[in-house]
Structure 1
Amino acid sequence: MAAVEQVVGKSDSVVVRLRGVAKQYQRGSEVVPVLEKLDLDLPRGDFVALMGPSGSGKTTLLNLIGGLDRPTEGSITVDGVGIDKLSNAALGRWRADNVGFIFQMYNLLPVLTAERNVELPLLLTKLGKADRRKRVHTALSLVGLSERMHHKPRELSGGQEQRVGIARAIVTDPTLLLCDEPTGDLDRKSGDEVLDLLQALNKQHGKTIVMVTHDPRAAERATRTLHLEKGRLEREVKLMSWLGFVWANLTRRKLRLVFTLLSIILAFLMFGMLDALRTSLGKAVNLTGADRLISISKVSIIDSFPVSYYEKTRAVDGVDSVVHLNWFGGVYKDGKAQIPVFPINVEEFFKVYPEVKITPEEFAKWQADRQGMVIGQVLADTYGWKVGQRIPIKSSIFRKANGGDSWDFNIVAIYKVENSAGWDNQSAMFHYDYYNESLQFGRDQIGWMTIKVKNPDESEAVAKRVDALFANSSDETKTATEKAFTKQFMAQIGNIGKILVSVVFAVFFTMLLVTANTMAQSVRERTNEIGVLKTLGFSSGTILRLVIGEALFLTILGGLIGFGLAWLAVGGMAGFMKKYFPVFEIGDSTILISLALMIVLGVITGLWPAVSAMRLKITDALRRG
């Protein structure tokens, strides 16, 4: 059947013209509008990106321009042809001659090689084999796939398949190239290669391209971008703000910006993490009992002394109660899990550590059960232990009189700790008598004593009395307040903290140099532009504020990201770290300190470049361009 073409007069300037184009779909009895009376002109050689949210009508508009669908109302003219008036057959022939389609999923025929896929549209022409072959090879050469022409789609990468799709689209030399998410299924490198090809086809070969995309990076390659919103073209022009101007200046060297931001982010990330550790160490010391003393062997913390010291210490003036403990070296599950286990004198433990809580009924049950054990909530959660369960725990240090190293215990209670650094939530305690009577060697020895004094103000005096009691004996003691003992025990961690402070200082200093260098380079590169700004009327003070504003924007943005990451990391680690510290958090004052640091560092790094920019003479600055 002869083509019925409605030629309405070709224009050298406008290739695509839409007037009052609307599209509706019938869904049962409901009419669903997709496009609402669009007017649009696309000049010859235009490269337009269509953007908008899903359902905004982008693909529908592309299909209408390409003759794949018909408008409910309105007219569509492409290169002088009113395609909305063409019959289906004529529309098919028109598409073959005038439109090249590039799809997101490539849509190559899997049974054909790349060469044959590209040749496919030419079968509808009157070209001979030699001419078809020449066109196919030219198209494949243009997309850089001459050496892969005999490969089928399954033998090609995604990027290569899309380049074959482009070659197929251009082999007939169409008026229009219509691309539906051409990079949507590609990695960044392959996507960039496809966009490079489209740009070359537009700039070097004059092809008119309409591209639907969700990717702002792809849209940047187009000469202009049209936004669709609920079936309407949004023509809003975004006015530049001071912040937008600052951001545009900072992003002119994206790689440099990324590395500068990373140095700032790292500095504030470490600052936040270190503060959490500092806070934890400080609060661990502050939460120790003011009325408790720790008494250990004067020789070493790992040396023991006779259990008879317990009764003698109880009789010292000023002593309220005493609990003696041994390090048991508990091991569970064939040595894979080490557990803090302590044989103790049960009767006085809760007098010395009142913050450790079990019910009176549980305490009575523990006293009555020689093999009874009380465990912390963390242990119960970790191993799924429950009250009433009988568990075997081995000792990595002590053996029983029968030569065995496995001890059986009955879990009688799960204790909880209320706000204390004196006792953690992941230990296990059992009867000293059960331990002592079962030992093969080392009986009647204890590792240390925790002493509760009657008057906290007399703690140091009581400590001296205890040590004097055992002076000049074979097992002298060293007694100190729980706070002093904790400080001494954490001394090594404290040194690590100082090292971390030094590292963070070095990182901040490096960040200062990197950011200052970034700002100095940025100002040097823009000397001519600064001259232009001054020519336009920007005062020296405005230039000063602009450059310092850029430095502040950098340090505040990087600082907020880094400190935010530290906040998230500390929050995520808090549950785990509370096994070892009573508190693991970033201090409240640190937020204000970090904000102040961001501002101070921003001003310092931007001040000298800003002053240099402010002092530039207009004529000298313009001459450097």
Structure 2
Amino acid sequence: MTFFQLMRRNACRKRFRATLLMFSVGIAFLIYALTASFLGGSQGAAGAGDNLLGVFNKSGRGLPLPFAYLNRIAADGDVAAVAYTARMRGFVEVEKNVVMTSAVDPRSIAAANGDELGLTSALIAALEEGRDRVLVGRALAEAQGWSVGQRISVTSQLIKADGSRDWSFVIAGIFEGANASTDTYFMLARYDTINAARARDKDTVDAFVVRPRQGVSPGVLAARIDALFANSAAQTRTQSEKQFLEAFLRQFADVGLIVSLVVSAAFVTILMITLNTMLFAVRERSFEIGVMKVLGFSQGRIMTLVLGETLFIFAAGGAGGLLLARLATLLIGPEFGLAFSLSVLLKSVAILAGLGLLTGLLPALNAMRLPIVNAFRSR
């Protein structure tokens, strides 16, 4: 029997107890992975950054900005690219099935934000083929069951000049996003088509997307853009993508603090449960540990054996929890903004190893220091 087999059999000698421990560890890491994935997806920890700026109306993000601001922003020498977008909220078939559409200029959005959204030259060309063409994000296409070439109808809050609220589009392509954390639960339509057909707010946009030149401080450029329109009727507020997402979530609650408290409570609970169980398990096996010492097992090997048992339980349970979290992000991630990134996995593994070692340290020290005479007296 190898050392690993001995460790595994000791950990599972009482299968029901071991299963409950693994289940508890799995639940704790499922909670952690889902909450960390939510933060990663919603706050843009993995995808959003400071290298892309959004210019919004200072009085409220839902209020429009004049299209004429475009040239003044683009005239700044520190601006590498600038695009604009008009948001159109609507639904498909039933009101609960909400779909968001961003009306953009294909070439401008590709220059400013094409890498993050995964907009290839082929997709941009497909969008330009017709005025009713749209590009659909992968998450939205999978959720709705849409495919390229399909004609769809969106009932929007944006009213057409003829009084209708129904907008018909043909799917010209599907964009993937740069990585798993990129939001692709929306469509890209042509601004000229939406602007020409809508009944109000013509020649206005909801936001400008600005990419600073390499080496330019985004904060300095943001302040300079806002200064351009400080005395205008529609003043602006320029923020990085990450700043905007974090500020948006803080309107409801300090999500990061809530998540930290929930995760900490789960880990402290599982730490106490596992520690108490392992201490009891070592006391149960006092005679066995004494026999192992008589047979020549060193104190270091005894300690390693007990630590290995604890790590095995954490590894088995944690792997199950992380696997469930990964499956959950694949199934419901796009709708709830979950992004199970590599950083979430690496942090989970680090926490798993740390908790396993911390939990097993005291039982392992007790087993290592147990005198052989005392061990035999426990028989």
TM-score (norm 1): 0.50
Match in the other structure for 1:607: 365
Q: CA deviation at 1:442?
A: 3.4
Q: Which amino acid aligns with 1:295?
A: V
CA contact (8 A) 1:316 1:465 kept: no
Q: Which amino acid aligns with 1:604?
A: L
Q: Which amino acid aligns with 1:568?
A: L
Q: CA deviation at 1:295?
A: 0.6
Q: Structure 2: 5+ residue runs without aligned partners?
A: none
Q: Which amino acid aligns with 2:151?
A: R
1:264 has 2:25 as partner: yes
| 1:33-62 superposed Cα distances (whole Å, 9 cap, x missing partner) | xxxxxxxxxxxxxxxxxxxxxxxxxxxxxx
Matches within 5 A, 1:450-465: 450-465=209-224
Q: CA deviation at 1:368?
A: 5.8
Given candidates 94, 103, 122, the residue that maps to 1:334 is: 94
| 1:196-238 superposed Cα distances (whole Å, 9 cap, x missing partner) | xxxxxxxxxxxxxxxxxxxxxxxxxxxxxxxxxxxxxxxxxxx
Distance (Å, rounded) in 2 between the aligned partners of 1:330 and 1:543:
70
Match in the other structure for 1:425: 184
Name the % identity: 22
* CA pair 592-370 structure 1, distance change in 2 beyond 3 A: closer
1:373 has 2:128 as partner: no
Q: Which amino acid aligns with 1:299?
A: S
Distance (Å, rounded) in 2 between the aligned partners of 1:438 and 1:562:
56
1:560 has 2:321 as partner: no
Match in the other structure for 2:341: 584
| 1:591-620 superposed Cα distances (whole Å, 9 cap, x missing partner) | 355334323321134434764x438647xx
CA contact (8 A) 1:318 1:458 kept: no
Match in the other structure for 2:55: 295
Distance (Å, rounded) in 1 between the aligned partners of 2:79 and 2:2:
75
Distance (Å, rounded) in 2 between the aligned partners of 1:445 and 1:333:
28
CA contact (8 A) 2:58 2:234 kept: yes
1:394 has 2:149 as partner: no
CA contact (8 A) 2:137 2:175 kept: yes
Higher mean alpha-carbon deviation, 242-251 vs 378-387, is at 242-251
Distance (Å, rounded) in 1 between the aligned partners of 2:8 and 2:65:
71
Q: CA deviation at 1:438?
A: 2.6
Matches within 5 A, 1:520-535: 520-522=279-281, 529=287
Q: Which amino acid aligns with 2:355?
A: L
Matches within 5 A, 1:446-595: 446-489=205-248, 495-522=254-281, 529=287, 538=293, 548=303, 551-576=306-331, 577=333, 580=337, 584-585=341-342, 586-588=344-346, 590-595=348-353
Distance (Å, rounded) in 1 between the aligned partners of 2:308 and 2:30:
17
SS of equivalent residue, structure 2 residue 131: coil
SS of equivalent residue, structure 1 residue 369: coil
Distance (Å, rounded) in 1 between the aligned partners of 2:281 and 2:126:
75
Distance (Å, rounded) in 1 between the aligned partners of 2:320 and 2:59:
45
CA contact (8 A) 2:89 2:98 kept: yes
More helix by share: 2
Higher mean alpha-carbon deviation, 470-479 vs 518-527, is at 518-527
Q: CA deviation at 1:291?
A: 4.6
| 1:411-442 superposed Cα distances (whole Å, 9 cap, x missing partner) | 33434434496x64342122323323333333
Distance (Å, rounded) in 2 between the aligned partners of 1:416 and 1:334:
26
CA contact (8 A) 1:399 1:405 kept: yes
Distance (Å, rounded) in 2 between the aligned partners of 1:258 and 1:309:
63
Which of 1 and 2 has greater Rg? 1
1:440 has 2:199 as partner: yes
Match in the other structure for 1:141: none
Distance (Å, rounded) in 2 between the aligned partners of 1:281 and 1:304:
24
CA contact (8 A) 1:291 1:456 kept: no
Match in the other structure for 1:350: 110
SS of equivalent residue, structure 1 residue 328: strand
Q: Structure 1: 5+ residue runs without aligned partners?
A: 1-238
Q: CA deviation at 1:468?
A: 0.9
CA contact (8 A) 2:132 2:170 kept: yes
SS of equivalent residue, structure 2 residue 62: coil
SS of equivalent residue, structure 2 residue 87: coil
Distance (Å, rounded) in 1 between the aligned partners of 2:212 and 2:268:
49
RMSD: 4.1
Match in the other structure for 1:61: none
Distance (Å, rounded) in 2 between the aligned partners of 1:366 and 1:292:
23
Distance (Å, rounded) in 2 between the aligned partners of 1:435 and 1:413:
18
Distance (Å, rounded) in 1 between the aligned partners of 2:33 and 2:261:
14
* CA pair 506-554 structure 1, distance change in 2 beyond 3 A: farther
CA contact (8 A) 2:26 2:321 kept: no
SS of equivalent residue, structure 1 residue 471: coil
Count of aligned pairs between the two proteins: 374
Q: CA deviation at 1:357?
A: 2.4
CA contact (8 A) 1:555 1:598 kept: yes
CA contact (8 A) 1:548 1:610 kept: yes
Where relative contact order (Cα < 8 A, 6+ residues apart) is larger, the structure is 2
SS of equivalent residue, structure 2 residue 371: helix
* CA pair 604-315 structure 1, distance change in 2 beyond 3 A: same
